[in-house]
Amino acid sequence: MDRIGFIGLGVMGRPMALHLLRAGHPLMVYARRPESAQALLEAGAASRSSPRDVAEASDVVFTMVTNTPDVEQVVLGPDGVIRGARPGSVLVDCSTIAPGATREMAERLRERGMEMLDAPVSGGGTGAEQATLSIMVGGRAEVFERVRPLFQRLGRTIVHVGGNGAGQVAKAVNQLILVTTIEACAEGLALAGRCGVDPARVREALMGGFASSRVLEVLGRRMVEGDFAPGIEARWHWKDMHIALGLAQEAGLAVPAAAIAAQNYNALMSAGGGGRDTAMLIRVLERESGGG
């Protein structure tokens, strides 16, 4: 059994690590907040004092942290994974970060004999808990095949997209499509209300046709009910959209729908809504049109 290291034990990382532990793998964990690791330690995981210590004791190290600078610090920092990299070991980064940074880290790790897979996930906290995540993977095919049994403990849809960085490109595309769909739902439901028609009834009718989607089902319900308690916090979609827009700019591709959605997320962030549910985007549209 591979010895597994896991760094980043938040809403997503904690249940993912627990699945690997329950599969029988020795598990070493590191968390900046010790309380995040408590449930895993009680289940049999071992604590390590730094990412370096995790890497020294692991065959495969998973990371699931917030953004590009955080991953770079965990991997390349003074006490980072690279300092404890063991030849033949693998780093699997499940965070959502910039593809260029991923490729650079993979190159630096390879110089130390450690392979890297970028493996961002989609499915949210529920998908992590139920091990039904969609996992999009970039890296060498032979490394992907080695790690595939671990991915199968975490997700249902597992696709090797291409070389290093390709997984992050796929996740950027996922987020672009997701967030522009959220924008479309917010616009449509706001329009229904402005026309004097019950948005909840409109949503119910649309759920039976081609406009139906998981976004309309879950976030559309939140929009019509005004339920903006944090589920998927808006700040994470704001962060991801800026990754996608940066990627589009590098590629010389215009993405006008995504740009409009990002602009509205900027407004939501400026209004202090970053910690609220992403469905709160509808309030930005209502305010901009004088609706409250």
Taking residue 262's Cβ as centre, other Cβ atoms within 10 Å add up to 22
The reported pLDDT for the residue numbered 291 is 54
Is residue 222 predicted with pLDDT exceeding 80?
yes
Domain ranges of the chain: 4-163, 170-288
Contact 148, 139 (CB under 8 A): no
Question: Torsions phi, psi of 140, nearest 5?
Answer: -65, 140
For 266, list phi and psi in degrees, rounded to 5.
Answer: -60, -45
Instruction: Check whether 117 has a pLDDT greater than 90.
Output: yes
Whether 171 is a known active-site residue: answer yes
Q: Which two tokens stand for residue 22?
A: 């329950």
**Which listed residue (171, 222, 237, 283) is catalytic?**
171
Q: Count the neighbouring beta carbons within 10 Å of the beta carbon of residue 32.
A: 12
Q: How big, in percent rounded to 5, are the helix, strand and coil portions of the chain? A: 55, 15, 30
Q: Considering only CA atoms, which of 180, 185, 213, 214 is closest in space to residue 200? A: 185
- The CATH code of the domain at 4-163 is 3.40.50.720
Fold designation for 170-288: N-(1-d-carboxylethyl)-l-norvaline Dehydrogenase; domain 2 (1.10.1040)
φ/ψ of 238, rounded to 5, equals: -60, -45
- Would you say 155 and 94 are in contact if contact means Cβ atoms under 8 Å apart? no
Distance CA 168, CA 137 (A): 8
pLDDT category of residue 288 using cuts at 50, 70 and 90: confident
pLDDT at 14 over 80: yes
Q: Do domains 4-163 and 170-288 have the same CATH topology?
A: no
Given a contact cutoff of 8 angstroms between Cβ atoms, the answer to whether 23 and 136 are in contact is no
Residue 169: which of 248, 239, 233, 67 has the closest Cα? 248
Say what the alpha-carbon torsion angle 73, 78, 81, 83 is, to the nearest 10 degrees.
Answer: 160
> What's the average model confidence in pLDDT over 76-93?
97
Instruction: Tell me the pLDDT tens digit for each residue of 196-214.
Output: 999 999 999 999 999 999 9
| Mean per-residue pLDDT of the chain | 96
What digits encode the pLDDT tens for the residues 168-181?
Answer: 999 999 999 999 99
Residue 290 confidence class, pLDDT cut points 50, 70, 90 = low
Mean pLDDT of 62-67: 95
Smallest CA-to-CA distance from 214 within 129, 120, 134 is with 134
pLDDT band at 287 (very low <50, low <70, confident <90, very high): confident
pTM given for the model: 0.94
Rounded-to-integer distance, Cα 68 and Cα 106, Å? 14
Residue 289 has pLDDT above 70, yes or no: no
The Cα 46–Cα 44 span in angstroms is 7
Section 144-167 average pLDDT: 98
Q: What are the DSSP E strand ranges found in the chain?
A: 4-7, 27-30, 46-47, 60-63, 90-93, 115-118, 121-122, 133-138, 155-162
Higher pLDDT, 54 or 33: 54
- For range 132-147, the mean pLDDT: 98
Which has the closest alpha carbon to 281: 245, 213, 234? 234
